[in-house]
Amino acid sequence: MNTIHIAAASAVFLGLAACAGPTNSQVQLAQEQHSCAALGIDPGSQAFSQCVGNLDASMFEANNTAAR
């Protein structure tokens, strides 16, 4: 009987976890990628990776210095 309750509870928790939306960092990364693509930079290129990395670093700096 306890095994059935544990299995049912596990199924509920796994179902809720699957419904969870993207994290803030995932949303921010998608926005950074979109911004670099909107500039016309090829998503498979080294320049695209640098653009996303630079934008991420700039956003991190802006978010962390504004809180001080």
Structural domain boundaries of the chain? 22-68
Distance CA 3, CA 41 (A): 54
**Token representation of residue 24:** 């803030």
Distance CA 7, CA 41 (A): 48
The pLDDT of residue 29 is 95
pLDDT tens profile 34-56: 999 999 999 999 999 999 999 99
Amino acid at 18: A
Is the pTM higher than 0.75? The answer reads no
Residue 32 · residue 52 · CB < 8 Å = yes
